[in-house]
Amino acid sequence: MKKLFLLLSLLVGMTKISAQSLSVAQQDSAFVRENYVKYQYQISMRDGVKLFTNVYVPKDASANNKYPIVMQRTCYDVAPYGKDDYPQMLYYSRHMMREKFIFVEQDVRGRWMSEGTWTNMTPHIANKKAKTDVDEASDTYDTIDWLVKNIPNNNGRVGQYGISYPGFYTIAGALCGHPALKASSPQAPVSDFFFDDFHHNGAFTIGYGLTFPVFGVQHPKPTTESWYDNLFPKRNTQDGFDWYRTQTPLKNLGANYKDNFFWQEHVDHPNYDEFWQKRSIIPHLKNIKNAPAIMVVGGWYDAEDLYGPLTIYKNVEKNNQNIYNTIVMGPFGHGDWARERGHHMHSNVYFGDSVATFFQRNIELKFFKHFLKGAGDGKSDLPEAYLFDTGKKQWQEFKEWPAKTAQKVNFYLSNSGKLTDKITSDGYSEFVSDPNKPVPYTEDNKQLFGFTPRAYMSEDQRFAGRRTDVLTFETDILTEDVTLGGEILAKLKVATTGTDADWFVKLVDVYPGDEQNTPFTPKHITLAGYQQMVRSEIMRSRFRNSFSKPEPLVPNQITDVTFRLQDVLHTFKKGHKIMIQVQSTVFPLFDINPQKFVDNIYKADASDFIKATHKVYNSSAIEVEILK
């Protein structure tokens, strides 16, 4: 009914719609229709494959009023597909939308209405020799080239953005070398499925177990209809934890995916072999020709792509001269900067008001305006690193990241239960890890029903620390604020009775016993003594020396297992404590290690799973960077 009313008023042009009488969503929708015209194209790539492209051009674009192009390339559809159907919003930020650009949305090769064959994380071809050597960079080049030559009244400047997989297409597209590409913002970008999303340090993210139909099936032909909706595994229970138990060993999960090529690729490539290596965009982020200005965006609580934004930013920085390369990290879960929710929460923790809007208006809009409409000389008035301190709950600007003034400090894991500044003895802490009783990664059963993990990254860890299979180490109560800002390296010295083991290390902020709930804290949550997860990471011991050549552990032999946790910027306030928790299973976030070395965990039988006793020696340290 409302749609008809709007349509009538547009046609007739007589009724003035009062802004006050419409909801925000209705206002956005009206804005799109009033200000844009939609065009659709099948753009030919250099090898002849055509990619479906929606183009939304401002009505007032003219020879005297040219607009830059802002493009998203995505594997997730560019609905609405009808030539007269307009989306409710262009871009996810109404600040960008109302600034007005020529907005372009394209289905990538092999997806939805585009032709071609789909593959995950299209390998980048550094030296292209033939027209058949295509990748996302070449598809982006060909698309940009066509757009600037064919879309009337464009100002010759193109920007690209995307969140998650579209973030990968953005950074891949930044390598295209086209001189018209002036600004790229890869947001929560996927970079390498062995270290983000589907795996972390080689451990399989079983929490993604439901997602394979989206990624592992070719569409039968260009289509606007989903071809995989009926391929999701049937869950005959609302109890997510129990369901994932039935999908272990991984063969059981695989039984749902007999015709899924992406699942098969996982099974066939359990190690970081050439298959995965060539699908990482990271090695290619060097000496980028005609590099656009890059602003990488991410969320400190991104349960899907945290490795991506940090690793991309650092590699671009290290391997390119004279490039505009910056990073923004906010207190966001995956993609949450795209949604303004007012009081900004992640899990049960309150981070302030209108944080997403601050990013969209004061950072993102500024970036694209400067490089696409403004001077474009790099004097964007934005810092090198715009990072949110998740403890102080405020934004901070840095000239470089990691900060050169940061001081490296070791926290040793003493079997007294304390974090010490020296190795106290050759003692150890010990626990039994039972694959039949894996440590849950969340106590919130509702989370386990979601499509991918999400809220656990700020969750209260008390439920875990009370278990016999989770070790805890903490400082005394802090007498002053301590800001951890930068990289974290876990340097474990461990031994086990088994021949493989996972180690899940958690950095935790322990609130004081008299902490008060905020007005926005859910009623069933108590912040007094809350043990807020700040950062965590898993390491599969078999990959400790090489991700491509796994090695069993020698039972009972003290072994070094060293790995990175992703960066933090978090102030532990006076009155709080810093805590490290160490456990071996974290289910159903990551799959369960059989704890007996088998060649391929995807092919393990139930009988391969054994209990093991793990020891973590007092000489183990977590190395952090502290900012003064």
Partner 1 sequence: MLMRNSLIYLFCFLSFFVKAQSTYQYSVAQDSAYIRNNYVKSEFMVKMRDGVQLFTQVYAPKDKSKLHPIIMQRTPYSCNPYGTDKYKKRIGPNPFMIRENYIVVYQDVRGRWASEGKFIEMTPHLDKKLSEKDIDESTDTYDTIDWLTKNIPSNNGKVGQWGISYPGFFTSAGSVSQHPALKASSPQAPMADLWRDDAFHLGAFMLGANFGFYNFFQAQTQPTKNRPAPYFSFDSPDGYDFYLKMGPTRNAEDQYYKKRNEYFHENFDHPNFDEHWQKRNILPHLQNIKHAVLVVGGWYDEQDLYGTFKTYQAMEKQSPNNDIRFVVGPWVHGGWAGASGQSLADVEFGSKTSLYYQEKIESPFFNHYLIDESLPLSLAEATLFETGSNQWKSFDTYPAKNAQETVLYLQNGGKLGFTKPQNENGVTSYISDPSRPVPFSGKINDGFSAEYMVEDQRFAYQRPDVISFETDTLKDDLTMVGNILANLKVSTSGTDADWVVKVIDVYPNDTPNDPAHPDVVYGGYQQLIRSEIIRGKYRNDFTKPEAFVPGKPTEVKLELQDVLHTFKKGHKIMVQIQSSCFPWADRNPQKFINIFEAKESDYQKATQKVYHQKAYPSFITFGVLKN
Question: Which positions touch partner 1 (CB under 8 A)?
Answer: 236-242, 432, 434, 437-438, 440, 443-446, 448-449, 460, 462-463, 466-469, 513-514, 522, 524-526, 528-529
Give the shortest CB-206-to-partner 1 separation in angstroms.
16
3-class SS of residue 74:
strand
Q: Which one, 445 or 600, has the nearer CB to partner 1?
A: 445
Give the shortest CB-517-to-partner 1 separation in angstroms.
9
C-alpha torsion sign, points 58, 59, 65, 66: positive
Q: Which one, 273 or 443, has the nearer CB to partner 1?
A: 443
Bond into 588 cis (ω within 30): yes
Give the shortest CB-526-to-partner 1 separation in angstroms.
4
Q: How many helices (H) and strands (E) does the chain have?
A: 14, 25
Give the shortest CB-440-to-partner 1 separation in angstroms.
6
Which residue type sits at 554?
Answer: V
- Among 552, 532, 455, 471, which residue's Cα sits nearest to residue 505? 471
Give the shortest CB-446-to-partner 1 separation in angstroms.
6
Q: Which one, 13 or 513, has the nearer CB to partner 1?
A: 513
Q: Which residues does 487 contact at the CB level (< 8 Å), separation at least 6?
A: 402, 564, 567, 625
3-class SS of residue 14:
coil
Two structure tokens written together for 26: 């209705």
Give the shortest CB-520-to-partner 1 separation in angstroms.
15
Q: Which one, 22 or 478, has the nearer CB to partner 1?
A: 478
Alpha helix ranges (H) inside 259-397: 261-268, 274-277, 307-319, 355-358, 365-368
Q: What are phi and psi of 46, to 5 degrees?
A: -65, -20
Question: What string of H, E and C letters represents the secondary structure of 130-167?
Answer: CCCCCCHHHHHHHHHHHHHHHCCCEEEEEEEEEECHHH
Q: Which one, 220 or 519, has the nearer CB to partner 1?
A: 519
DSSP assignments along 158-216, one per residue: EEEEEESHHHHHHHHHTTS--TTEEEEEEES----TTTSTTEETTEE-GGGTT-HHHHS
For residues 591 and 607, give the distance between their C-alpha atoms in angstroms, rounded to a whole number.
Answer: 16
Give the shortest CB-434-to-partner 1 separation in angstroms.
5
Q: Which one, 283 or 529, has the nearer CB to partner 1?
A: 529
Q: Which one, 302 or 460, has the nearer CB to partner 1?
A: 460
Q: Which one, 140 or 581, has the nearer CB to partner 1?
A: 581
Which single residue is written with the structure tokens 């913002």? 185
Q: Which one, 7 or 477, has the nearer CB to partner 1?
A: 477
Give the shortest CB-532-to-partner 1 separation in angstroms.
13
Q: Is residue 86 a contact partner of residue 33, using CB atoms and an 8 Å limit? A: yes
Q: Which one, 158 or 464, has the nearer CB to partner 1?
A: 464
Beta bridge partners of 418: 474
Give the shortest CB-130-to-partner 1 separation in angstroms.
54
Kind plus residue range of the DSSP H or E element containing 251 = helix 250-254
Give the shortest CB-514-to-partner 1 separation in angstroms.
8
Give the shortest CB-399-to-partner 1 separation in angstroms.
41
Left (φ > 0), alpha (ψ -120 to 50) or beta: where does 156 sit?
A: left
Q: Which one, 464 or 488, has the nearer CB to partner 1?
A: 464
- Among 113, 179, 197, which residue's Cα sits nearest to residue 140? 179
Give the shortest CB-518-to-partner 1 separation in angstroms.
15
3-class SS of residue 102:
strand
Give the shortest CB-521-to-partner 1 separation in angstroms.
12
Half-sphere exposure of 121 (CA within 13 A, CB side): 22
Q: Which one, 220 or 513, has the nearer CB to partner 1?
A: 513
Q: How far is CA 255 from CA 13, 160, 241, 293, 593, in A?
A: 58, 39, 18, 45, 19
Residue 201, number of CB atoms within 10 A of its CB: 21
Q: Which one, 325 or 447, has the nearer CB to partner 1?
A: 447
